[in-house]
């Protein structure tokens, strides 16, 4: 198939493109950068902004499907910027699919769309969307996911995947940022009882998208539904961060821990200060969203993904951490259709 990958120059997008190539499909990429490494592989790269309808139409013309990974991520920023990319951009993708008769849309969402602030332990996809959010990222992703699922019909089959804490070789966000903060003495870890969180290895996250793409059809079990995606191996958040930072060559983390109420209050104060100073081009040292993620449990039942997508994650945490600093080598998804 000819498959457009929006955000194909990003961490997850590149892994998806690599796997599409490996199984003989023809990926195309829509992104704002030039992506010379993708062009050198013969991949067509359309430069453009996902929020611009004409750019999306041009990139999607002639395609058989789209995997929509492009998004504005982060725990701080202007509401209008998140809405422009995550909501308007997703509307543009749906409208382009309709106009060009593209029959398949796989959307990358996030488990944060159901996280209202308390512990979330082993829930399945029947759990409702959160009623309030600590950041514009999960708020706008919830809106976008609803748009995607509502668009599912006989002419356009849609599915939303919710991978959690993706990392692995080539990660430029999660672990590198944790290492950077650790070296600067700004990595805050919570005290109190251990809180379990899910995580997802990059190859498994990419594989889930290809599995969904392969099975997606008007009468498919996955059409019009959302799925939690993870390794199914929840681990204490402090252990995950500590081991990941160590594996990536970061410093040993201090034993000092911050009480969760203090951590959340610090996020509130930091956001208030950045808002008052109109600082939006960088994140505060701590935000409410990050504080919630660090101080609450969030792990999910992936039985539905196993059943409907054939998703069967294999990589253990030890194996994932061994590969953190290694260059990407896998070219075939572990759950290849």
Strand order in the sheet with 196-197: 120-123, 298-300, 196-197, 235-236
Q: CB neighbours of 324 closer than 8 A, spacing ≥ 6?
A: 167, 168, 169, 171, 175, 244, 247, 248
Q: Phi first, then psi: what are they for 83, rounded to 5°?
A: -65, -40
Q: What's the rounded Cα separation, in Å, for the pair 122 and 118?
A: 13
Give residue for tokens 């392969």. 214
Q: What's the rounded Cα separation, in Å, for the pair 78 and 279?
A: 10
Q: What's the rounded Cα separation, in Å, for the pair 198 and 122?
A: 10
The DSSP code sequence of 262-303 is HHHHHHHHHHHHHHHTT--SS--SS-HHHHHHHHS-EEE--H
**In terms of Cα–Cα distance, which of 335, 329, 334 is closest to 18?**
329
Q: Which residues are catalytically annotated?
A: 137
Decide if 38 contacts 29 (C-beta within 8 A): yes
**In terms of Cα–Cα distance, which of 39, 4, 36, 37 is closest to 20?**
4
Q: What 3-state DSSP class applies to 6?
A: strand
């Amino acid at each position: 198939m000819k498959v457009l990958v929006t955000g194909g120059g990003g961490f997850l997008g590149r892994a998806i493109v690599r796997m599409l190539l490996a199984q003989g499909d023809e990926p195309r990429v829509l992104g704002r950068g030039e992506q010379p490494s993708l062009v050198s592989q013969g991949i067509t790269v359309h430069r453009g902004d996902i929020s611009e309808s004409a750019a999306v139409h041009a990139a999607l013309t002639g395609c058989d499907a789209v995997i929509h990974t492009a998004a504005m991520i982060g725990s701080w920023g202007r509401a209008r910027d998140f809405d422009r990319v995550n909501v308007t951009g997703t509307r543009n993708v749906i409208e382009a699919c309709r106009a060009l008769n593209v029959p398949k849309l796989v959307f990358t969402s996030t488990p944060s769309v159901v996280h209202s602030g308390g512990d979330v332990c082993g829930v399945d996809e029947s759990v409702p969307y959160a009623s309030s959010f600590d950041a514009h990222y999960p708020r706008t992703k919830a809106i976008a996911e609803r748009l995607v699922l509502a668009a599912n019909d006989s002419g356009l089959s849609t599915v939303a995947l919710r991978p959690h804490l993706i990392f692995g070789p080539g990660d430029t966000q999660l672990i590198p940022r944790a290492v950077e903060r650790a070296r600067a003495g700004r990595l805050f870890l919570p005290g109190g009882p251990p809180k379990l969180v899910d995580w997802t290895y990059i190859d498994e996250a990419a594989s889930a998208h290809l599995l969904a793409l392969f099975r997606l059809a008007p009468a498919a079990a996955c059409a019009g539904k959302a799925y939690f995606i993870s390794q199914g191996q929840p681990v204490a958040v402090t252990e995950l961060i500590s081991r990941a930072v160590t594996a990536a060559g970061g410093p040993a983390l201090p034993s000092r821990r911050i009480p969760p109420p203090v951590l959340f209050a610090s996020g509130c104060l930091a956001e208030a200060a950045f808002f008052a100073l109109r600082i939006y081009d960088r994140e505060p040292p701590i935000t409410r969203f990050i504080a919630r993620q660090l101080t609450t449990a969030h792990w999910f039942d992936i039985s539905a993904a196993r059943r409907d997508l054939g998703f069967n994650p294999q990589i253990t945490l030890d194996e994932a951490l061994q590969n953190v600093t290694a260059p990407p080598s896998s070219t075939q998804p572990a759950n290849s259709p």
